[in-house]
Amino acid sequence: MSNYVFSFGPWNIHEGADPFGPTVRDSIEFDRKLEQYKKLGFDGVQFHDDDAVPKMNDMSKEQIIAEASAVKKKLDQHGLKAEFVAPRLWEDPRTIDGGYTSNDPNCRKYAVERSLRCIDIAKALGTDLIVFWLAREGTYIRESKDSVVAVRRIADAINAMFDYDGKIRIAIEAKPNEPMDHTFIPTIGHAIGLGMLTKDASRVGCVIESAHAILAGLDPSDEMGYALAHKKLWTVHLNDQNGLKFDQDKTFGAVDLRRAFNQVRILEKHGYADDGHMVGLDVKAMRTQKADDAMRHLSNSRAIFLRLLEKARSFDTKLEADLIAQRNYEALEMYVINHLLGD
């Protein structure tokens, strides 16, 4: 029934630590996590570079490629595919003030070199897609960085990556805040615009995370529509978010079912899956969840997506067109609600 292929990252099975308290569940080894993917209904694995090669900062390029190739074998054994690799540029002491936009040239150099190693890992894992979540590319105080210089520096880093490899594509995951007060690439319009500053805009696309759009005060399905109109929606991070607070990564559709329906609908209407894109989730189990059922948020998110897909496919588009022609949006709204409620 569904042509949709789902993915998540190993960080989506996690120990429940938050900024105010320690872990509440035991760690699960990467290999054990891989065993869960198919059982949960997933075929794609999202990676940070160090999810694949944890000690990469202490290794040579050749060692990194050898270790990533061993991970690729494990993916093959499980019948899984790497969807993308994202350079983790927010934990190292050299990225305290940002990676590509750091005010320290040595730190910027580190960020670019790490990104080239991330490309090596992506190639060894069999994907040409790099995701940029630009975690610390922003400011806590406006005066600390020149935003013109900063944006050009991010474009320069992308150019260095394009020079290094002729095939990789970069999908930018916009987010307006957290950990920073303000980021330089807060929305998908910014992400697509940044591509135009690089030497090859055709290789720069985006990832839309539902929660990040909501944190920017935007409707995620409209962000998706904007990216789809530009043919730039190369993957998604579906989840949910209860208003303007910390990035919650809640189960997809768990807060606002109608908002989730509209995301599924725009993807379905515009052939997102037919273009070969995976449906990525970026969801966290609640900290209160006991360990024995702490993967349910993943299968639940997928199940909610598929139920909303049925709703998108059974939506009466003739009625919709009639009500739009009559400009009877009150009736259209009630039809949407009745449809979602099962009438």
Looking at beta carbons only, is 137 or 173 nearer to ligand XUL? 173
Going by C-alpha positions, the residue among 121, 139, 141, 140 that lies closest to residue 131 is: 121
Cis peptide before 176, with omega less than 30 degrees from 0? no
Looking at beta carbons only, is 186 or 323 nearer to Mn ion? 186
Say how far apart CA 210 and CA 205 lie, in whole Å: 16
Instruction: Provide the token pair at 231.
Output: 């043919």
114 vs 25, 30, 58, 131, 163, CA distance in Å?
Answer: 31, 22, 11, 14, 15
**Does residue 85 contact residue 77 with C-beta atoms inside 8 Å?**
no
Kindly write out the interface string for residues 186-215 of this chain, putting x where it contacts ligand XUL by CB under 6 A and - elsewhere: -----------------------x------
Q: How far is the CB of 237 from Mn ion (least distance, A)?
A: 4
Q: Which partner in Mn ion, ligand XUL, none is near 247 (CB below 5 to 8 A by kind)?
A: ligand XUL
- The single residue listed with the structure tokens 């995370």 is 209
- Asked if 100 is part of the footprint of ligand XUL (rule: CB under 6 A), the reply reads no
Say how far apart CA 229 and CA 343 lie, in whole Å: 32
Q: How far is the CB of 44 from ligand XUL (least distance, A)?
A: 14
Cβ neighbours of residue 218 closer than 8 Å, sequence gap 6 or more: 187
321 vs 266, 312, 318, CA distance in Å?
Answer: 16, 15, 5
Among 94, 108, 175, 265, binds ligand XUL (CB under 6 A): 175
Q: Which parts of 129-168 interact with ligand XUL (CB under 6 A)?
A: 133
Q: How far is the CB of 86 from ligand XUL (least distance, A)?
A: 4
- Asked if 223 is part of the footprint of ligand XUL (rule: CB under 6 A), the reply reads no
Q: With CB under 5 A, what is the number of residues at the site for Mn ion? A: 3
Instruction: Provide the token pair at 79.
Output: 């019948």
Going by C-alpha positions, the residue among 184, 225, 183, 229 that lies closest to residue 208 is: 225
Which residue's CB atom is positioned nearest to ligand XUL?
Answer: 133
The DSSP secondary-structure symbol of 187 reads S
Cα-trace Rg, the chain = 20
Q: Which parts of 190-209 interact with Mn ion (CB under 5 A)?
A: 209
Among 282, 301, 302, 309, binds Mn ion (CB under 5 A): 282
- Asked if 50 is part of the footprint of ligand XUL (rule: CB under 6 A), the reply reads no
Going by C-alpha positions, the residue among 3, 29, 8, 88 that lies closest to residue 300 is: 8
Q: Which parts of 111-170 interact with Mn ion (CB under 5 A)?
A: none
Q: How far is the CB of 7 from ligand XUL (least distance, A)?
A: 11
Q: How far is the CB of 282 from Mn ion (least distance, A)?
A: 4
Q: Which parts of 82-111 interact with Mn ion (CB under 5 A)?
A: none
Active centre residues (catalytic) = 48, 51
**Does residue 66 contact residue 104 with C-beta atoms inside 8 Å?**
no
The Cα diameter of the chain in Å comes to: 66
Going by C-alpha positions, the residue among 84, 185, 166 that lies closest to residue 130 is: 84
Kindly write out the interface string for residues 242-261 of this chain, putting x where it contacts ligand XUL by CB under 6 A and - elsewhere: -----x--------------
Q: How far is the CB of 294 from ligand XUL (least distance, A)?
A: 18
Helix, strand, or coil (residue 17): coil
Looking at beta carbons only, is 91 or 316 nearer to ligand XUL? 91
Looking at beta carbons only, is 90 or 335 nearer to ligand XUL? 90
- Asked if 240 is part of the footprint of ligand XUL (rule: CB under 6 A), the reply reads no
Q: How far is the CB of 316 from Mn ion (least distance, A)?
A: 34
For Mn ion, the binding residues (CB under 5 A) are 209, 237, 282
Q: Which residues of the shown chain bind ligand XUL in the complex (CB under 6 A)?
A: 48, 86, 133, 173, 175, 209, 237, 247, 282
